[in-house]
Amino acid sequence: MITSKTNPRIKNIVKLAKASERKQQNLFVVEGFREIDRAIASGYTLKELFFCSELFHNKAWINSINTLSSFVAEVSSDVFAKIAYREQSDGLLALFEPKNLTLENVKLNHNPLIIVLESVEKPGNLGAVLRTADAAAVDAVIVCDPRTDIYNPNTIRSSLGCVFSLHTVTANSSDTINWLRDNNIRILATSLEASIPYTQADFTSPTALIMGTEATGLSALWTNIADQKIIIPMRGIADSLNISVSTAIVVFEAIRQRNI
């Protein structure tokens, strides 16, 4: 059992809270049984597992993990409190290797639906969009020019582990535009100007829905090349919605049209 908060492995987990450390070490942290189980089921490589027996009681599951990871360790409750990211944790935390998917890894069906997020900066918002994407069974989520990384612990937590089951790709906007054009996917960009209501747009053919941040919206790069610009009409004093809410509204309109 690890009982010291200054244990090198424990200190390293704390370091992995920083994106720069995650990138340098090619590791990221996953906390919680559901999220860890989904990462394993999605083919992610488990490197290290830490558990607190006072909080996690499934010994059979822990024993099964010994065949998947080269390092499994029990930690004291004090040590687990040091490395845990969430309150009321279930006593499990693991380190995985990222997949670092690219646009070339995305597998498209005959009529793809893609979500593209430009410069998303809040990991909680990104995670919420990934939950929506999973619920709608979209083909991929492409995060362009991100200001947070997809393996941020808050992204993983707010996605409920859906980040692992989806094709979630980071790329720059120019490469993404070229990839969408090469695959004959229409670009529908959310915009406040010269736009039609999203309910009047046609989502039944191969489509990429481009979403910007609440603060600044999409850049001119996207709005200038869009095949069509769409808007969610506002009836109150607010002129925008949270990106996860906006994405859910428009994506499920696309699903509704495709199921008619």
Q: Give per-residue pLDDT as tens, 73-87.
A: 999 999 999 999 888
Q: What is the pTM of this model?
A: 0.92
CA distance 16 to 94: 12
Q: Of 112, 135, 114, give the one whose Cα is nearest residue 205.
A: 112
pLDDT of residue 155: 95
- The DSSP string of 215-258 is TTB--HHHHHH-SEEEE----SS-----HHHHHHHHHHHHHHHH
C-alpha to C-alpha distances, 102 to 9, 99, 107, nearest whole angstrom: 30, 9, 11
- List, for the chain, all residue ranges whose pLDDT scores fall below the cut of 50: none
Radius of gyration of the chain (CA): 20
pLDDT of residue 71: 92
The full set of domains in the chain, from first to last, is: 8-96 (3.30.1330.30), 103-258 (3.40.1280.10)
CA distance 172 to 146: 8
In the three-class reduction of DSSP (H, G, I as helix; E, B as strand; rest coil), residue 211 is classed as strand
pLDDT of residue 196: 95
pLDDT of residue 239: 75
Question: Position of tokens 């040091």?
Answer: 82
pLDDT of residue 195: 85
